[in-house]
Every structure is written in C-alpha cells, then in structure tokens.
Chains A and B, each alone.
Chain A
Amino acid sequence: MAAADSPSTALRRRDLCSRGIRLAGKMRADVVDLLDAYVEQQGLDASASVAAVEGVPLAAVERWDEQTGTQRLLENLAAYRAFRALLAQMLEEQREQLGEADAGLGRALAAVLLQVSAFAYHLEELLRLESRGIPGEEEDDGPPPPPRLSLFEQKLRGLGVLRELAQWAVRSVRDLRQLTKPSPATAAAPGLAESP
C-alpha cells in the first residue's frame, strides 16, 4: 500500500476501480440477459437448481466486511480467472453443439468472456498498484480439468456458471466500491492481509 501514497497511483487506482465497477455492472446486466437467452436456448428451466460449480469461489462469503482490499482483489481475480476458463469452455462447447446456428448466443457469450477478461485485467492492475505479486494462473488452476460431462450436464453447468458470474458481478461492484472508500478497515487491512 506504500505506492498508494503517490497521487498518480491513487488516481490510477480510482480510475481502475471506477471503470471496474461500471464494467462489473455492465457485466451483470449482460449476464442476466445472457442467462435468459441461455435458458431459453438450452431448453432449461429458469428455476432449476444447480449445484455449485466446481473450481469457482462462491461469491457469498461470511464476514465479507472484514476482508482487506487485497483479499477482495485476490478472491475476485481467482474467481474471474476461473470464469474466464469456464466461459471459454462453454463457448467452445456452444460452437460444437450449435455450430453457427445461434451466433447471437455465441456472440453474447464471447462478449461476456471479454468482459470477464477485462475485469480480470482490472484486478491485476489493481493488485500491481497494491505492490502485490500477481499469482500465476497455473497456481490458480489448481482444480484438474473437469471430467467429460454429458450434454445436459454441460448445459446445467453453463447455467451454474452464468448464475455464479452474475452473483460475482454484484459482489465485485461492492468490493471495488469498498476499495475506493478510505475506510478504517483499509488501514487495518495490512495486518489482516498479511496474517494469512
């Protein structure tokens, strides 16, 4: 956080946060729209319950308000890297299943994928500003590649990914807003952040 003292760094962080908040907001809106299209396209029930997607940190977390900024960033980064991989896999499966028949859904998926990538880039930049090393993607790719799933399972997993992404988009907005606040928690954060 030493670099946070620099005015340019503060400006840069504020800009990244602001842009990240808006990106997360748009991402949520797009994911919600995409969910509707996906459910309809895949012939799923919108109310169907889906088990937690493997490899994706849950957006819901206890004692969220006690997290440090770096923790938030790291959790976000891990989640969005996971989403990036899952969405890329979904896009691939989508193309395999439908070919170019439903280019709209594919474009929407690609757009969300781009937004996820962009948001991950925002998080990495913020972490750099925090003077924290960016964890390697290989590290985070801890979970082994998912086993080969049936088509229906793929659809359900896709539904779960999008739902979780929508949740994360909401949480990311809150996280980034929290980062922009000069709250006392931030001052205490290093202790907490460094404790793990």
Chain B
Amino acid sequence: FLASGELVQSCGHIIPESPVLALGSNFTALCILNESCLDFGNIYANQIIWKIKNRLVPKEQYREINRTVSSVTFNDTSSLATPLTCNILADGQIEQNIYGITVTVGLPPEKPKNLSCIVHQMAKYTYVMTCTWNPGRHTFLDTQFRLRYSWPEEIFPDCIPKDVNNSCTISDIQFFVNTEIWVEAANALGKAESDPLVIDPIDIVKPLSPQNVSVSSGILPTVLKLSWVNWISDAVMTLKFNIRYRIVGDTNWMEIPSEDTASPRTSFSVQGLRPYTEYVFAIRCMKEDGVGYWSDWSEEKTGITTEDQPSKGPPIWRIIDASHSPDSWTVHLIWKAPKPFEANGKILQYEVTIRDKSSLSSPLKKYNVTSTNHTLHLPKGTYEVTLIARNSIGASPPSVLLIPASNSKAPVQNLRTLPKHDKLWVGWTAPNSYVLKYVIEWCVMSSSSDCIIDWQIAPGDVQGIDLKGIKPFKCYLITVYPLYADGQGSGQSVKAYLKQDRPSKGPTVQTKKVGKAEAVLTWNHLTVEEQNGFIRNYTILYKTIDGNETVVTVDPSKTEYTLSSLTSDTLYTVRMMASTDNGSRTGPDFTFTTQKFGKGEIEAIVVPVCLAFLLIVLLGVLFCFNKRDLIKKHIWPIVPDPSKSNIAQWSPQVPAKHNFNSKDQMYPEGSFTDVSVVEIEADDKKSFSEQDLKPFDLLKKEKSTSEGHSSGIGGSSCMSSPRQSVSDSDEGETTQNTSSTVQYSTVVLNGYRDQTPVQVFSRSESTQPLLDSEERSEDHAGGADSTAQRQQYFRQNGGQDETNADRPWFERTKQITHANEGDLVGFVQLQISGQSSQPLGLGMEKNTQEAALSNFLQTCTEGQTVRPETVEENPLPVDEMPKSYLPQTVRQGGYMPQ
C-alpha cells in the first residue's frame, strides 16, 4: 500500500488556492478528489470533512457536488481561520488530510479623506510640500498608499510614505501652476483614490519668519523702529506682516493694526509707546493676499524708548506729629515715586516748596530731596506744600497738598469694606461738599509694633477703591480723609479683614475667685495677631469630671464671667473658646475645685459656738463667784488648829521644832547660806518609821538662789516642776510675815507603829499664828512613798552664789499634794526670808536651774524639806501623808508654783 503521505498528496486539492477574502463576505471552497484515489482507496466526496484550524466545520455547510467534489460554504468570512483543510475518513474512522489552504481575511482600502497640503519654506529657495490625509479604516492587509500629483501635461513621480500611511512630503515644488494632488490606496482586495486637490503650491506656503530683527530708538520718546530681512523673494511672493510688542515684564502682547503692515516692507516704526520703557518685539509674515499660512513669530528683540519729562506729579501726603509741642508740628511729608509710565525716566530729585498760608509775607521754603519723604518742624498753621519730580529731561507738573490748621471739614460717611478676591474694597459716602480727592490710609494692626501706614490717593469723584497687597487674616485699620480745596475733613476709620480665619489660639482662662457655688473666671483678650478675624463671642465650656459640659456664650468685650450654680466641693474643668466668623479655637483646660463651705458659713458656725462657750464660761464664773464661799469651803476646808489638837500635844518633836523654827532664829539675815539635800533611804514604812534620819550629805549646791525645788510633805511634791520665784521689795513686810516656809500636812489615815490609824490632821493650814508654829514643825513633815523610795533633803547655800552672796536669801519649798477627790490642786508655797525685796531670781541661770531640777527630779521621788539643823526622821510613812494645803503669797508675775 502507498504511504499515507503519498496518498494525501495525490488524492485531491482545494480551490481557490490561498484566497484573500473580504471580511464579512461569503466564501465557498471546493475539495476535488483525484480520480485515481477513487478506485484505489475507495474514497469518495461524501467522505470529505472540512476543518478550520482543527475545528470541524458543521456538515450543514457541506455539499457534495459529485462523487469527487465536495464544497463548503461560509456565509461570513469572519468565522474563517487558517488553515482550511479538506480531510477524508478512510475506512470509516481514520481521518486523513487531503489538502489545506491559507485564508486571508481583510478589507479593501477606504477612500482616503481630508487630504491637505502645506508648503514649508526650509531655506531661502527651498520649499517642501507635506500632504496629510485620513487613511480610513484598518484593512488587516498590506495596503500601499501613494501621493500623486501632476500638472495637466506633466506627471510627477509618486510620493511613497515611509513608515506612515497618512502623510508624505514632496521636495520638488513648482509655484504658480495649479497642481492636482491625490492619494491612492491599494491592497489585495482593491484600490481607492482620494478626491483630487487642485492647488497652486504658492497658496499654501508657510514662509520663514523675518530674520535679523532689530529695534532702534528714534528721536521721539514714544517711537521705536523695527527692521528685519525677508527670506522669501518678491518673485515668489510678496508679504504682509504682523508686529506685536509688550513691555518687558508684562505678559500681554499688543499688536500693530494689521492694515498698517499689510504691504511688503523690511522696517516699521512703532509709535505711541511710553517713554523710557523697554519693549519686546516680534514679527511674522505671510503671503500678501492672505492666502496661505502665517510664519512663526520671529525671535524676540527688545528696545528702550528715550526719556521724557515726568507726566504727573507724585502723590503726596503727610503725617503730623503734634505731641512734642503744643504750638508746633512735626510734619512728615511722604510721597510716592511716580510710576514708571509717569516718571518717563529716572527721577533725579524732588523739589518741595512750603508756603505758609497764614502769613502772606513769610518767604517760600524750598528743599531738594532725593528720597520720598521729608520731615519739617513747623509752627501750627495752614501750609501749602508743592512737590515736583525732576528727571534729566524736565520737571513734572506740581502736586499740591494743603495742610490746614485743623481737620474741621466734613468727614466721609458710611465707611465700609468688602473683600473682593485678593483685594479689599473700601467704600464710603461722599460728603455734601465738593471733594478734591480722598486719602486712604491703612495699616496692619499689631500688638507689638506700631501701625506702619500705607496710603493711597483716590480721585474726588469716586466713592470706593480697591486696596491691593492686602494680606489675609490680618486686621487692617483703614482711615479715609476727604481733601477739600480749602481744607481737610477728619478721618473716619474702620477695621477690616480681607479674609478671616479661626483664631490661632484660644483664650487662657483662670479663676479669679472660687466660691461654694460660683467661680469668677478671668481671661485676657487674644492679641490682634492671634485673632485672625473679628472675635464674635467667647464660649465658656465647663464640666465636672463625670458631668455634662455646660456651654456659656460671652460677649467678646468681657474679660470676666461668673459661673454660678456650681456644686460645692467639686472639681470643675473649664476651657474657653474664641470664635470668629470662620471658626473657633479652644484654649487650654483649667481646673478648679469649688469650696466646701460658702462665704460666712464657717463664721456662722464658729461664732455662735464661741459665743456659746463664752457664755457658758461666763455663767460658770458667775456661778463660782456666787458660790465662792461654798467652793472655798470645799477647796480649803477649815483645818482645826493643830495646836489645840490632841495630836499636837501628842507629837514629841513639835515643841522643839517650834522653838527651833522660830523665824528669827531660823533665818537670821545673812546667816542662812547653805541648803543641803540629804537623801534618806526608807526601806519600808515600818523601818522608815523606826530608823532615825541620818545626817545627809550635801548633794548639790544650787548656784542660783532664785531657784527652788519642790520638796515638802506628801508624795507628789517631787513631780512638780521647778519654778522661779521672785520676791518684791514692796512686799517686804508681807514677805516678812510669810517668809517662812509653812507646811501643812495631812496626817494620812495610817497606822502608826501598828496602831490603828485615826484620821486626824496632824498639820493643817490655818491662820497666820498657826503658820508660825507650823513652820517650826515643818521639818518633820515629809513622808515616804509606800514603796521603798529615796527621800531627798536639799540644802541651798546661797552664799556660794556670786551674785547673791550678800543678798537675802530665800528658800522655797514646793509641795504638791495629791488632793482627795474634792481637792483640785496643790499649792505652792513661797518663802522669802528677811527683808529681801529684790527679785532674787533675776540672776539665776535658768539652765542651771533646770539642770539642777532635773537632777533633783531624778533623785527625788518624794521630797522632804528639812533644815540643815533638823535632820530628823519623819516618823510618818508616805502613805500616811495627809493632804497639805499651802497658803501662799500670790504676787502678780512673781508667783510660781513650785
């Protein structure tokens, strides 16, 4: 059997062979089998199947024409793809390829449209023509475009576009002959031609712009002459021109009227220019008849016109400072340099002339100034100031400013402002009188510096101007003065913002005073720099920690506000917000706590309590006063006279004591110098009572004679503090009478030597006679504590004191007894011997006293005052010590309990 490849190659073919088909058209292909295959392989047309790129074509599209030919029909070639193959099912199942073709689908070219041409002048004699067209839809096929042109009896070579399909450039151009131009497009499916364009190439020329442009100034200061070279010969075309110019720095071009430059030329004088101004020029050209294209603008050239005399006097104004002297002014004349188009050159100097109008005879004053201000010191009056600006050509017309003695004329009315984009419009209503002109002053308000005034002059027939250079968010103070022929109106001022913003910071609030239910808040106004706008109101926001915020709006003129209805003893947070028309800004938080009590509440409580207390005290005092006898009776109970008692008689020592303690004997003046303290140990009550008192050693010498130590009878005397005692000579007599230590002892209910105790007073306070006798027996007074205690006896040697060596000495004894339930206090007895009237304690060193006392307190638990000579044992135990009552001499300032 033959190889399959050979079978396929030889068994059939498809017609048409590799067709190019129009997209969307129908297409029929035939597969023709070779006759040889019919017999050899039993292959017939009804076995043919068609495939497009391995995709089976539906059999509905097949048609068996005869036993060797099968056709397939496609109604739309867009469903076709490459390759289209003819196949056969050999032996019913085995698919064998018979033949295949390549199908190309595309579109015929469309007619090129919108053909247009332009001739560019490349050099003086070189012109090229570029034509462009719209090639139409994409054809999906290789399509050739060619630009063709011809004269009626001459056909030129075609122009084949390179890399593009919509333009072509012809370099060999002949003018003045109508040329027919058209475009041909062709591909496998067809050919199309554009409509022909018949044109003389000279009518579509874009010439080169004029070359070598130069500008020269002429004789006149308003003329500049422009010259150039045309790069196209008159034989080819005559030209017309456009000339434009502008001032250097300006962006707006001005143009010479086209009719002035509609004829061929190589120069032109531009007139009506400003003197001493630099201009920029540019020029372009096109065919004189206007058929064709304008050239590009030439390179820009500049030229400066010559100077001319200033056309207008400088605007002048003044600032008057009258603060230095009541009779004279400091006049600051200020003026603005003329604008360039008014100066017409470089201003060399200004001439200021002052004329005193109040005095016709006064001479004119002239000043030549190079700056734009001049300061004069003038007596108050009416002056006329004339200002002239001068350049190298001449002088300007004079500017005249009248400075009247007072601004008594009518001011403008209804002054108002309105922001307009970046300008601030200031408007006013004119006064009834004729106004020559208005002066508008303005300055930025500042809290830290002076208002630096800017100003402007407006004609008298306007009622509003735009202020330029105004910055947003700045507060401007604007003042308008009307100037009359014979005077000046007073200025009217208004504050204005070009644009407002919210304040840059909020007010800082603090409390001035805080009460129970109210708080006075204070704050400072924001500075004008911080305001950024007109403050419309302040808003106070306050709240407790967990409460809702309360808002209060406050007038912007206020700097203080009282919050009321606050809760007492509560922490509040308050902050403050300043608002302009454009927003608000809140200041820092401030916290305060309301007071617990309101004003006067504490006083209302304390004062009545104090009054009540005082009343009670007063009533108590009155009561005590009324009941003093009764009280006295309780405090100082009547003590029976011991001398008449059985106990006195019973005590064997008493008589001796009495004798010994006789005042004269006991304290002979100047003889009693030493006081010794003797410590006696008492083992117990019993032994104490039994043993004799031993002679005691001198434990300590007191330097200060004015210090006394507590001693005496009773268990608590040592617990008393040492006090200073001062005696006064005025009371010498009294002191004489009471100088002796008088001690009274209460015999404590205790058994003596195992005897049943009987509650009797062994000693008591009584009347003075009693004291005498008692003094003599006081040495016996003393007791022992219930426990083993030391008993101290002290002895003072006043003679050892340097200061008081020769003075009357004194002896003090302090005895504090614990009172019974009915007794309140112990009393201290002061004994001053002799005629001493000096405040003996004055020379005493207190420290020494205290040291001695401290020592004394440490060693003594229960003192017993004894005489040096009377070192006798006190037979009574301490527990048996009766309460003692010490009559005393009370002296103001001198009485000290001891």
A residues adjacent to B (C-beta < 8 A) = 19-20, 22-23, 25-26, 28-30, 33, 107, 111, 114-115, 117-118, 121-122
* B235 lies within 8 A of A111 (CB): no
* B153 lies within 8 A of A26 (CB): no
A22 and B174 in contact, given A29-B235, A29-B236 (Cβ under 8 angstroms): no
The digit string for B168-183, where 1 denotes a CB below 8 A from any CB of A, is: 0000101111100000
Shortest CB distance B494–A (Å)? 72
* A22 lies within 8 A of B152 (CB): no
In the complex, what distance in Å separates the CA atom of A115 from the CA atom of B175?
8
Instruction: Confirm or deny: B193 has a beta carbon within 8 angstroms of a beta carbon on chain A.
Output: no
Instruction: Confirm or deny: B154 has a beta carbon within 8 angstroms of a beta carbon on chain A.
Output: yes
* B176 lies within 8 A of A19 (CB): yes
* B154 lies within 8 A of A26 (CB): no
In the complex, what distance in Å separates the CA atom of A52 from the CA atom of B613?
161
- Of the A-B pairs whose beta carbons lie under 8 Å apart in the complex, a sample of 17, sorted by A's number, is A19-B177, A20-B176, A22-B175, A22-B202, A25-B235, A26-B176, A26-B233, A33-B125, A111-B172, A114-B154, A115-B174, A117-B154, A118-B151, A118-B176, A121-B152, A121-B153, A122-B177
* B233 lies within 8 A of A29 (CB): yes
* B235 lies within 8 A of A28 (CB): yes
A30 and B154 in contact, given A23-B177, A114-B174 (Cβ under 8 angstroms): no
B residues adjacent to A (C-beta < 8 A) = 125, 151-154, 172, 174-178, 200, 202, 233-236
Q: CB-CB < 8 A to B175: which residues of A?
A: 22-23, 26
Q: CB-CB < 8 A to A19: which residues of B?
A: 176-178, 200
In the complex, what distance in Å separates the CA atom of A20 from the CA atom of B235?
12
Shortest CB distance A171–B (Å)? 16
Q: CB-CB < 8 A to B200: which residues of A?
A: 19
In the complex, what distance in Å separates the CA atom of A20 from the CA atom of B177?
8
* A30 lies within 8 A of B174 (CB): no
In the complex, what distance in Å separates the CA atom of A111 from the CA atom of B172?
8
Q: CB-CB < 8 A to A22: which residues of B?
A: 175-176, 202
Q: CB-CB < 8 A to B154: which residues of A?
A: 114, 117-118, 121
* Binding site secondary structure of chain A: helix
* A121 lies within 8 A of B233 (CB): no
**9 closest A-B pairs by CB:** A29-B235, A23-B176, A118-B177, A26-B235, A25-B235, A114-B174, A22-B176, A19-B176, A26-B236
Q: CB-CB < 8 A to B235: which residues of A?
A: 25-26, 28-30
In the complex, what distance in Å separates the CA atom of A30 from the CA atom of B154?
20
In the complex, what distance in Å separates the CA atom of A26 from the CA atom of B125?
11
Q: CB-CB < 8 A to B152: which residues of A?
A: 121
For B151, B177, B202, B236, the residue with the greatest tally of chain A CB atoms inside 10 Å of its CB is B177
Q: CB-CB < 8 A to A30: which residues of B?
A: 235
Closest to B203 in A: A19
In the complex, what distance in Å separates the CA atom of A108 from the CA atom of B18?
51
* A121 lies within 8 A of B202 (CB): no
* B174 lies within 8 A of A118 (CB): yes
Q: CB-CB < 8 A to B234: which residues of A?
A: 25, 29
* A117 lies within 8 A of B202 (CB): no
Q: CB-CB < 8 A to A115: which residues of B?
A: 174, 176
Shortest CB distance A12–B (Å)? 11
In the complex, what distance in Å separates the CA atom of A28 from the CA atom of B236?
10
In the complex, what distance in Å separates the CA atom of A117 from the CA atom of B151?
10
Closest to B153 in A: A121
Q: CB-CB < 8 A to B151: which residues of A?
A: 117-118, 121
Q: CB-CB < 8 A to A33: which residues of B?
A: 125
In the complex, what distance in Å separates the CA atom of A143 from the CA atom of B408?
111
Q: CB-CB < 8 A to A29: which residues of B?
A: 233-236
Closest to B235 in A: A29
In the complex, what distance in Å separates the CA atom of A115 from the CA atom of B151?
11
Q: CB-CB < 8 A to A121: which residues of B?
A: 151-154, 177
Closest to B237 in A: A22
Closest to B236 in A: A26
Closest to A125 in B: B152
Shortest CB distance A13–B (Å)? 14
In the complex, what distance in Å separates the CA atom of A165 from the CA atom of B690?
187
Q: CB-CB < 8 A to B233: which residues of A?
A: 26, 29
In the complex, what distance in Å separates the CA atom of A114 from the CA atom of B175?
10
Shortest CB distance A77–B (Å)? 13
Closest to B200 in A: A19
Q: CB-CB < 8 A to B177: which residues of A?
A: 19, 23, 118, 121-122
Shortest CB distance B534–A (Å)? 76
In the complex, what distance in Å separates the CA atom of A181 from the CA atom of B226?
38
Shortest CB distance B289–A (Å)? 10
A111 and B174 in contact, given A121-B151, A121-B152 (Cβ under 8 angstroms): yes
In the complex, what distance in Å separates the CA atom of A67 from the CA atom of B293?
40
Shortest CB distance B151–A (Å)? 6
Q: CB-CB < 8 A to B176: which residues of A?
A: 19-20, 22-23, 26, 115, 118
For A30, A33, A114, A122, the residue with the greatest tally of chain B CB atoms inside 10 Å of its CB is A114
Q: CB-CB < 8 A to B153: which residues of A?
A: 117, 121
Q: CB-CB < 8 A to A28: which residues of B?
A: 235
Given contacts A22-B176, A23-B175, 20 further A-B contacts (CB under 8 A): A19-B177, A19-B178, A19-B200, A22-B202, A25-B234, A26-B175, A29-B233, A29-B236, A33-B125, A107-B172, A111-B172, A111-B174, A114-B174, A118-B174, A118-B177, A121-B151, A121-B152, A121-B153, A121-B154, A122-B177
For A20, A26, A121, the residue with the greatest tally of chain B CB atoms inside 10 Å of its CB is A26
Closest to A118 in B: B177
In the complex, what distance in Å separates the CA atom of A116 from the CA atom of B235?
15
Closest to B202 in A: A22
Shortest CB distance B129–A (Å)? 14
In the complex, what distance in Å separates the CA atom of A26 from the CA atom of B234?
8
For B200, B234, B235, B236, the residue with the greatest tally of chain A CB atoms inside 10 Å of its CB is B235
Q: CB-CB < 8 A to B178: which residues of A?
A: 19
Closest to A29 in B: B235
Q: CB-CB < 8 A to A114: which residues of B?
A: 154, 174
Q: CB-CB < 8 A to A111: which residues of B?
A: 172, 174
Closest to B152 in A: A121
Shortest CB distance A22–B (Å)? 5
Q: CB-CB < 8 A to A23: which residues of B?
A: 175-177
